[in-house]
Structure 1
Amino acid sequence: MNCRRLLAAAVTLLSNASWAIEPPWGKAENLGELRVLEQTSVCTDNKGHYVVVAPHEQRSHQVFYGDEKTLTQVALPPWVLTGTHFLEPRFLNKTANSNFRGLDMRVYSEVEFDPSKKTCSLRCGEKTVPLTWVEADKAQELLLKAKYEPNPQQFEPYALLRDGQGSYYLVERGIQPGSEKNFRVHTGPKGRLKKQEMKDIVSDSEGEIFSTKKGDLRLVVDRAATPMWIEKKRKVELRGVPVGENLPMIYNELGVYTGARLGNPCDDQ
């Protein structure tokens, strides 16, 4: 029994170690790392949540979010935006530019901060939340003690279809490097979609075919033909629904992402 407990503990430690990531300042052991740490700002909502804005070579800044024990890396936006922006489809900013260099800014939120004035705020869609600046000594103490984890999102919406009866078919694809061929399929009426135990059997430039292990259910997404849901011998034609134009509906109404944390500061708003 003791051996089993030791083995379980070892597995847990290895799992946690592989999940943790290195912060931008490493262990703050040299001049370069110390400089990055000093340039990092920390703000709080005074409810136990912290927003961290650190330097980033490609995006100017990058954001971490969490509590004093664990901080999660917020997914970086496309290169045309700075790292203080992040995709947040749950909060829609109706007045934002719908086509800024090809990006729909209505589904992006951001952290606004000014180190010279020691001010910080969070914007989730049209909602602005004031944050309190954390002084340098306390901020650095928190940053050096916390554990850092990658963004928890493993999948993103890839294709959305709908039949004539109002049922939706959502295909998700893996977003982590090496997981681009991992797919999940959810089907059902709005608000009650359920994940199907399916596997990808075909994926190429012309589309995808997903099937259950028994092969009695198939979702065919073909770029050259009408999308089709096949259940035994019954075929149902589907209509493609643009994913990019319907992100707020996908995240707020289908039910697939209800209660899910996206690993950004709007999770608790």
Structure 2
Amino acid sequence: MRARGWSAAVLAVVCWSGIAVAEPKPEPIDIKPFKDKLTVLKDASGAFYVVTFDHGGVPYIFYGTAKLLYEQPLEGSRSRNGTAWSVSIWAPRLPFPFQGTVEYAKDGTFRTTCTSKLEQGLTVVTGEKATEILDKGKFMTTAVTRRPLLLARDDRGIYYYVDVLSKQYGGNGHRVFIGKKGAMKQIPISDVATDSGGDVFSTKTGDLRLVRNLDQDVRAKVTTTWIKGEKRTELITLDPYMNQPLIYRDLGVYKLHGTICGRE
């Protein structure tokens, strides 16, 4: 093993975190500073979008109902061409690159795109309805409070999945799910050990453990093992990023709400 700044030893910091973490909730966003720059839109399904790209050059996209709208996670490209603009939004149920878009064209029309075959125009909402949404609607931070950490499966099609709270919501708060697609069950764990060699997720008695080992010499090499009593099962480690549609659509762990293209 190559030395990494320590000739005699490798310093490993192990963090143990309690699993009983209260699930965070989206928080209100005060839109008053840029309320006059917001445009209210509606799609054919009756969902509402509240958008702007004029607040200090920073886009804001909200999506939801007339009473409750969530800030959209902006990911990927954003561009402007005169008054026209386009903003990419994280949409994990879509194929790679896992993005939808909201666009404003030079002719003054809006549209949203979820795939190359699914585009729809957005209607501008004006008058009392727009005023009602901006005055009485609740504008919240993103409803997606968790992010994937680990994904693996065995040769019987049983999946092993770990998520954590996103940084915006405090991080940590590990959860472990095991099962077939659409029938995942959360496994109660009491301890998480994380160090330079990987992670260990274990139950209170230690009878069940999910272990992820990181090869410090070959950074791309990750091995995952499920341990039940004395039985060890080597798992196939999967890339969470490239398997976002599987995680957010097929596994059934999340009831994804508050995001565009969430029904695709």
TM-score (norm 1): 0.74
Tell me which residue corresponds to 1:64: 62
Q: Which amino acid in structure 1 is aligned with residue 111 of structure 2?
A: S
Structure 1 residue 199 displacement after superposition: 3.4
Structure 1 residue 265 displacement after superposition: 2.5
Tell me which residue corresponds to 2:224: 227
Tell me which residue corresponds to 2:157: 166
**Does the C-alpha gap of structure 1 residues 191 and 136 become closer, same or farther in structure 2, counting only changes over 3 Å?**
same
Structure 1 residue 47 displacement after superposition: 4.4
1:21 aligned to 2:16? no
Structure 1 residue 170 displacement after superposition: 0.9
2: CA distance between counterparts of 1:247 and 1:58? 32
Tell me which residue corresponds to 1:111: 102
Tell me which residue corresponds to 2:261: 266
Q: Which amino acid in structure 2 is aligned with residue 120 of structure 1?
A: F
2: CA distance between counterparts of 1:147 and 1:187? 35
Structure number with the bigger relative contact order (C-alpha 8 A, sep ≥ 6) is 2
Equivalent pair of 2:151/2:161 in contact (CA under 8 Å): yes
Structure 1 residue 117 displacement after superposition: 3.5
Relative to total residues, which structure has the larger helix share, 1 or 2? 1
Q: Which amino acid in structure 2 is aligned with residue 264 of structure 1?
A: T
The answer for unaligned runs of 5 or more in structure 1 is 1-17, 27-32, 93-103
Q: Which amino acid in structure 2 is aligned with residue 87 of structure 1?
A: W
1: CA distance between counterparts of 2:207 and 2:133? 54
TM-score (norm 2): 0.75
Equivalent pair of 2:38/2:51 in contact (CA under 8 Å): yes
1:37 aligned to 2:28? no
Tell me which residue corresponds to 1:249: 246
**Does the C-alpha gap of structure 1 residues 73 and 42 become closer, same or farther in structure 2, counting only changes over 3 Å?**
same
Q: Which amino acid in structure 1 is aligned with residue 29 of structure 2?
A: E
Tell me which residue corresponds to 2:145: 154
Equivalent pair of 1:89/1:107 in contact (CA under 8 Å): yes
Equivalent pair of 1:183/1:199 in contact (CA under 8 Å): no
2: CA distance between counterparts of 1:167 and 1:20? 35
The answer for unaligned runs of 5 or more in structure 2 is 1-24, 80-85, 216-221
Equivalent pair of 1:51/1:265 in contact (CA under 8 Å): no
Q: RMSD in angstroms over aligned alpha carbons? A: 2.6
Equivalent pair of 2:248/2:256 in contact (CA under 8 Å): no
Q: SS in structure 2 opposite 1:265?
A: coil
1:120 aligned to 2:110? yes
Q: Which amino acid in structure 2 is aligned with residue 263 of structure 1?
A: G
Structure 1 residue 218 displacement after superposition: 0.4
1:238 aligned to 2:228? no
Q: Which amino acid in structure 2 is aligned with residue 40 of structure 1?
A: L
Tell me which residue corresponds to 1:5: none
1: CA distance between counterparts of 2:145 and 2:182? 21
2: CA distance between counterparts of 1:147 and 1:265? 17
Tell me which residue corresponds to 1:188: 179
Equivalent pair of 1:161/1:241 in contact (CA under 8 Å): yes
Q: SS in structure 2 opposite 1:226?
A: strand
Equivalent pair of 2:67/2:138 in contact (CA under 8 Å): yes
Equivalent pair of 1:118/1:133 in contact (CA under 8 Å): no
**Does the C-alpha gap of structure 1 residues 240 and 57 become closer, same or farther in structure 2, counting only changes over 3 Å?**
farther
Equivalent pair of 1:53/1:61 in contact (CA under 8 Å): yes
Q: Which amino acid in structure 2 is aligned with residue 21 of structure 1?
A: P
Q: SS in structure 2 opposite 1:153?
A: coil
